[in-house]
Structure 1
Amino acid sequence: MRQLQSPGPLFGSALQSIRTKSGRTALSCLSLVLGVLSIVIVEVASSTAAQVVLQPAELQQGRSNTWEVSAPATPQSMQAASSVMRQWPGDAALLVTDQSVVVHASATGQHIQVNAYTGSLRAIRPFPVLHGKWPADRPTLTPALAVNQAASALGGLRIQPTPGSQPLPVHVSAVVDDGSSTPQVWIPLQQLRSRAGAEAEATIHVIARLDGEHAASTQSRLNSAADAFGLKTNGEAQRVDTVDDLAATLDTMRTTFLIVGGVTLLVGVIGILNIGLATLSERSEEFALRRSLGATRVDVAVLVLAESMMIGLLGATAASGVGWALYKTAVPIFADGVEPDAFPLQACIVGLAAGASAGLLGGAIPALRASRLPIAVVMRA
């Protein structure tokens, strides 16, 4: 029984055959580039959409299954809301929007929206800290606050806790991305209450979420918690996030375009198949000679498959390169806020896998036919 050849010489022979037939190899690669490129573009678009659509939605509205109840800010409601937040089994935070508190920029005089918070806010709305450290929720001599990128560009911020009071200097402890393009500041509630307290025009927002819970269950539990602690809300708990709906829409679009890309890739597979069958007759004597010199049927099949897979990988590499160039060129123009240097590695991996699979499928039939060529072919030559 003849032994199989080691993979090294077989792949070396496949590479040599590709190099000697560079023109035909280029045509085979070209038939694959468009198909693999479509797959790469879909993966890149999916990753970019997650940054452009899903991430801002989480920052502004909260992660999946985020619910909110609101109430007027009174001492009783503040205490009740704090109890709801502390006893909540998942992530919960308390936001207070107080129209009487003013933060303004000294240079421009522009007023900035103030958001007072306590609890696990960043577990619900995962603000990335770009510079500095997120302020601790405890009283300090100088108010420490976080600002978004729009507010950080203003500079010279001062806070006026109550109408007519003397503006106080603040310490900007962090610059965060909160998904908003308008200037906003985030200040710990204890720091604000120690200077202003709760005003009549302020509104409390209890935001809460649960992992692995159905939406109806989370809503019911939040309503029950508010009733149990005597929080007189402005209505039933409302879902404030749209992450699941956006993700479902993006997944549907991704699946649709992947199907189109798969059809395009199938054309490339057929191209490799046609070229493989055309070259089979030209190389029949070579394969028969290899068989007569000791190569097995499996050796011949592996040789043909290795060539087609290398062609597939070459086409996939070219497609990934074109996809990278398009990403670097188009993203700064059409997707504001996405870093053009962050080309998704997953797109390259998927593209290479698609190219290798296409080469394997396109070379399967020629490999099978080559392995079945009779040794007598070389005797008739």
Structure 2
Amino acid sequence: MFRLSGRLRSALIIGGQGIRSRKLRTFLSMISLFLGVLAVVTVQAVAETANTLRLADLELHVGKDGTRQMYVPPMADAMDAALTSVAGRPGAVGMMQYQAIIGEPNVLPINQGAAPFDNNDGGYYGPAMEMYCDPVTGGCRPVQNEAAAQPKGQAIELVLQGLTGDVRQFRPFRPVAGDWLDFGGEPSYSPRLVLNKEAAKGFSRYRIPAEMRVEGATANPTPRIVGVIDDGNSQPTAYVRVDEMRNWMPRTTANQMYGPGLQLMFAPSAGETEALVMRKLTALGVPADMLHVETVNARKNIAGELAIMRWIFLGMAALVLLIGAAGILNVGLATVGERVEEFALRRAVGTPRSLLAGIVLAETLLTGLLTAAAAIGLAVVALDVGAGLLGSRVPQLQDMTFPWQAGVAGVIAGLVAGLLGGLIPAIRAARIPIATVMRA
């Protein structure tokens, strides 16, 4: 069992009695120190929260740390070989990206180019504008193509992500409603779709017929919406089993897609599957310089930028903490001045100088700990209230807990401030001569 030494125990007991006997002065010391400790706790808590939120956002878009990614060039044989190699294998998923329009035929979609519904101004997401430039005059004017002449109707354009397996093991999408894709059993001829929140917004605003058009498909299938997830993407996106889409697409067009190519994701434990894919692609004549695997290391990528911000704000918090330590120092010096006769009497009855210094230090350290506890408690309540108010706008905050690193930083800050503020008064108390009691 851990036991305190006699002098340390005596210093803590007498120091606690001193705090109880001078409650107002202790309260004033805590006020001067409270803002400094609260600043340190707040900076640490905000830094850890920002790190968690930023990492969660990167995991949604890029993948969890350790995920290995590879892009297969758009070569029909290579893509078929890669898809068959990862289909049904644990720790490996392939993703193919298409553009799809769901709704009335022969009309322009409401959000051309799969644009977000609240920012549907064409722009980056809209179709390219054709221009005609007169070689004689040099003047240019937009030319309306045949598709642009179509009227707008009840149709929505979205990005269609074809999956060979459950991608949530790499990108932890948050469920909103319904179910996720079921990759067991035979592929259905009615493609099952899971929408992201932006795509679901369009279907909730407009009455859209269940007819899906994908370039190169032999017919327009009837999709079924089975769920909604939050993937952190502002562009309308739907997720589908890739084999259900390829039921409607001949081999010559099944590999015609948008984006950089077929994306493969491997878990660190899926080394055999990764090696198998590399061997097959190399055997099919894919150049080695087009095959490279990258490992996701999101935490390392954001560590530098967050560390700079953290140190800047910690420096500002340290200045506030020093002001609080100066307040404890002033109160401590005044307290020692009032207790000169008490300390001199203790010296006269044999109390060691180290114990006198320990009594003063114990008071300031206990004051620092009490202040740290108050600051941490306020920070915990503020985080809970903030998460409750902003949880609907920032879903990541709903499961956020108070970071223990901020609590440790607050305790350390309180002890350091108590030590800095009580060191000089402790030295002065230890140097009080015994003769002082005679003058009393």
Pick the TM interval, shorter chain. Answer: 0.7 to 0.9
Query: What is the CA-CA distance between 1:69 and the residue it aligns to?
Result: 1.5
- Determine if contact 1:301/1:367 at 8 Å carries over to the other structure: yes
The amino acid of 1:146's aligned partner reads V
**Partner Cα separation in structure 1 for residue 50 and residue 232 of structure 2:** 15
Amino acid aligned to 1:354: A
SS in 1 for 2:183: coil
Tell me the equivalent position of 1:355. Answer: 414
Distance 1:281 1:53, change over 3 A: same
CA distance in 2, matches of 1:366, 1:4: 22
Q: Structure 2 vs 1, CA of residues 35 and 229 (structure 1 numbering), >3 Å: closer, same or farther?
A: farther
Match of 2:197 among 149, 153, 157: 149
Pairs within 5 Å for 1:260-299: 260-292=316-348, 295-299=351-355
Residue 189 to residue 170, structure 1, CA distance change in 2 (3 Å): same
Preserved contact between residue 218 and residue 248 of structure 2 (Cα < 8 Å): no
Q: TM-score of the superposition, structure 1-length normalised?
A: 0.75
Q: Are 2:314 and 1:258 aligned?
A: yes
CA-atom RMSD in angstroms: 4.3
State the partner residue of 1:380.
439
Correspondence list, 1:83-122, <5 A:
85=86, 92-99=92-99, 101-102=100-101, 109-119=155-165, 121-122=167-168
Structure 2 counterpart SS, 1:72: coil
Equivalent residue pairs, number? 366
Unaligned runs of 5+ in 1: 213-220
Evaluate the alpha carbon distance shift between residue 108 and residue 357 of structure 1 in structure 2; reply closer, same or farther with a 3 A threshold. farther
Matches within 5 A, 1:175-254: 175-196=228-249, 199-202=254-257, 204-208=261-265, 227-230=281-284, 232=286, 235=290, 237=292, 243=298, 244-254=300-310
Q: Which structure has the greater CA radius of gyration? A: 2
Give the 3 Å change call, closer, same or farther, for CA 131–303 of structure 1 in structure 2. Answer: farther
Cα distance, 1:228 vs. partner? 1.9
Contact 2:200/2:228 (8 A) holds in 1: yes
TM-score, with structure 2 as normaliser: 0.66
Name the CA distance, whole Å, in 2 between partners of 1:341 and 1:126.
Answer: 14
Q: Does the aligned pair in 1 maintain the 2:49–2:403 contact within 8 Å?
A: no
Aligned amino acid, residue 246 of structure 1: I
Unaligned runs of 5+ in 2: 105-152, 270-274
